[in-house]
Structure 1
Amino acid sequence: MNPRMHDDEVEVPQALVAELVRTRFPDWAGLRLTALRGTGTVNAVFRLGEDLLVRLPRRPGEAARLPAELAATRELFGRTRFPTPEVVAVGEPAAGYPFGWSVLRWIPGTPADEVDTAGAQDLATDLAEFVRGVRDLSLHGRRFSGDGRGGDLHRHDGWVRECLARSGDLLDVPALRALWERCLRLPHVSADVVTHGDLVPGNVLVGGGRLAGVLDVGGLGPADPALDLIAGWHLFEGPARERFRAGCGGRDLDWVRGQAWAFVQAVGLVRYYARTNPAMSSVGARTLGRVLADPLV
């Protein structure tokens, strides 16, 4: 994999991270530092010793969101029975690295993109419970704002069409284009709830066929309640997907819009990461295959 996935990303070599830890947290300087090579795309992640994780933004935009990400991480921690990241410490720019960074508690488990979860019904049950638990958090008067996933599907029309136009060698573009046209006719009638916002396989930890934890919670916030239903297509098929759907409850229209949000995310993953992160691209392609196999609109 080409380590440079974005034009504006900074390099985060292991030696630099070791120096940051040594300078800011000298008590941890002797702990083993190990780079984690996963499908993550906007943060460099290193395991520190047995119990800690160092997380460093690769891009200026992600770095600017770090305070909000830390606030969201603290908001969710301990609010469901499933482990989520715990903020242990925060570091400042230093040693040639221009952004703030964080140290989190390590959560044991295997990322779901490394195992077959298509028929994992117990995992589906657990993940639905997690989605309900997140929805139960207070909005504190907040409402969705911005152009990201979880608001108006129409705001993503240009991006989806661009991705499809450039994916003729990767996807069944005519079928996907026709499906997207139908997605755009879906009304948005449900009120915002708190959502995780990015339940892709790499953010779901599995252990013994059950949910061991959920990562990357910085997008926690108000959005279309259909948004977290993307996990139904990213992770499951057949009875397991139905188990997830039943466990999440809600309107039938939300379930259909959840498929539309999965489409939006997946089509971008396929094209954007086709050369720089094939593993992430393949996640999107698999999701789109599931969507085409079971179109709801």
Structure 2
Amino acid sequence: MTDFHQDGRAGIDAALVRRLIAQQFPQWADLPVTPVKIDGWDNRTYRLGKDLTARLPTHSSYVAAVDKEHRWLPILAPHLPVEIPEAVAKGAPGEGYPHPWAIRRWISGETASTGTVADLDEFARAIAGFILALQNVDASDGPLAGAHSFYRGTPPEHYHDETLEALAALKGRIDTDQAREVWDAALAATWDRSPVWFHGDIASGNLLVRDGRLSAVIDFGTSGVGDPACDLVIAYTFFTGSSRSVFRDAVRQDDAMWARARGWALWKALITEDLTVIERVLSE
């Protein structure tokens, strides 16, 4: 039997999904199961017929998202300007697979890219509108940021040691003195307001486009309530030039929020050695 805890992705395939469906949801047992073209790392996703998907965490660290999304997606959806995943059912461990898993409604669309987005400035305004709408949802009972959100929504200092290690590793390849200044500014710009909803991973891979326009935002696995600075990172990872300026104006966040957002963007770019994003962060 495959040890899913050690190599979760290797142990998940269409045959496993078919067995789980047959065992737990026999009403869908005759539907074809096919891998999606663009898959994530945290979960393996399979299309189930035309209208559904099966989504299986690849590791125990991603399991918390199953219950979280199942509870909160229906509450968030009516308040947001574009489609988000619809929770249909929750699966249980079985057939040797050790984690709970999810069945969602299929959302059509293309992954956002410079080739699929018709107007980047308009797209920037749409993303800003989504972020503001999410922040306006009642957060009083929402899941406080922490391990389930991989510490998105918490102060960036959680990743301080990791950031310093990455800076040391990249010394001589980037301006580490300037990068340290950006990081120190992020640490100093504390969040002192009530928690609000954040998505946690506003990235092109989680944005769907139809007819060149934003149509859906997917994967709320790192969502929660806390400091939403992490949701601004797309300013550095996707937008450039005028679209970045449009996004910054439309999302209406203060300088302290942007200092933390730069820190979040820098941390991720440092640990992945994404020199392009590092340069964007440092050049602002």
Please report the TM-score for the alignment, with normalisation by the length of structure 2: 0.85
Query: Residues 12-27 of structure 1: matches in 2 within 5 Å?
Result: 12-27=12-27
Alpha-carbon separation, structure 2, partners of 1:288 and 1:83: 31
Give the distance between the partners of 2:142 and 2:19, measured in 1 at CA. 39
Residues 70, 218 of structure 1: 8 Å contact kept: no
Confirm or deny: 8 A CA contact 1:34 1:46 kept in the other structure: yes
Checking the alignment, whether the CA contact within 8 Å between 2:121 and 2:246 is kept in structure 1 is yes
Q: 228, 232, 243: which is aligned to 2:231?
A: 228
Corresponding letter in the other structure for 2:161: G
SS at match of 1:19: helix
Which amino acid letter does the alignment assign opposite residue 174 of structure 2? D
Given residue 15 of structure 1, which amino acid in structure 2 is its aligned partner? A
Give the Cα–Cα distance (whole angstroms) in 2 for the partners of residues 7 and 267 of structure 1.
Answer: 26
Code of the residue aligned with 1:95 in structure 2: it is: E
- The aligned counterpart of 2:174 is 172
Q: Quote the offset at 1:29 in angstroms.
A: 2.3
What residue number does 1:263 align with? 266
1:151 and 2:150 equivalent? no
Q: Does 1:237 align with 2:240?
A: yes
> Which consecutive unaligned segments of at least 5 residues does structure 2 have?
none
User: Do residues 293 (structure 1) and 283 (structure 2) align?
Assistant: yes
Match runs of 1:267-282 below 5 Å? 267-268=270-271, 270=272
Q: Does 1:56 align with 2:56?
A: yes
Which residue is equivalent to 1:67? 67
Is residue 191–residue 225 contact of structure 1 (8 Å, CA) maintained in 2?
no
Distance 1:242 1:86, change over 3 A: same
Deviation at residue 141 of structure 1 after TM alignment: 5.1
Q: Does the aligned pair in 2 maintain the 1:122–1:209 contact within 8 Å?
A: no
Q: Which moved more, 1:93-102 or 1:105-114?
A: 105-114
Q: Secondary structure at the match of 2:131?
A: helix
Checking the alignment, whether the CA contact within 8 Å between 1:229 and 1:255 is kept in structure 2 is yes
Task: Go from structure 1 to structure 2 and tell me whether the alpha carbon gap of 1:67 and 1:114 turns closer, same or farther (over 3 Å shift).
Answer: farther
Q: Deviations over 1:209-264 (max 9, x none)?
A: 31110001133321213221112122211111111111111312212322222222
| Distance (Å, rounded) in 1 between the aligned partners of 2:211 and 2:100 | 35
Q: Offset of 1:14 from its aligned partner?
A: 1.7
Whole-Å Cα distance in 1 between the matches of residues 195 and 31 of structure 2?
43
Question: What is the percentage of aligned positions where both structures have the same residue?
Answer: 32
- RMSD in angstroms over aligned alpha carbons? 2.8
SS at 2:242 equivalent:
helix
**Whole-Å Cα distance in 2 between the matches of residues 167 and 253 of structure 1?**
26
> 2:137 matched to 1:137?
yes
Counterpart pick for 2:196 among 193, 196, 210 = 193
CA distance in 1: counterparts of 2:116 and 2:259, whole angstroms: 24
- Counterpart check, 1:252 vs 2:260: no
Deviations 1:71-99 (A, max 9, x none): 23222223212000001111111112111
Shift of residue 66 of structure 1? 2.1
Note the 1:27-176 alignment, pairs <5 A.
Answer: 27-38=27-38, 40-112=40-112, 115=115, 120-140=120-140, 144-146=144-146, 148-166=151-169, 172=174, 174=176, 176=179
Q: Distance in 2 between matches of 1:18 and 1:165?
A: 47
Unpaired runs of at least 5, structure 1: 1-5, 272-283
Structure-2 change in CA distance of 1:180 and 1:62 (3 Å): same
Aligned mates of 1:157, 1:264 — CA distance in 2: 9
Question: Displacement of 1:198 after TM fit?
Answer: 1.2
Contact 1:109–1:205 (8 Å) recurs in 2? yes
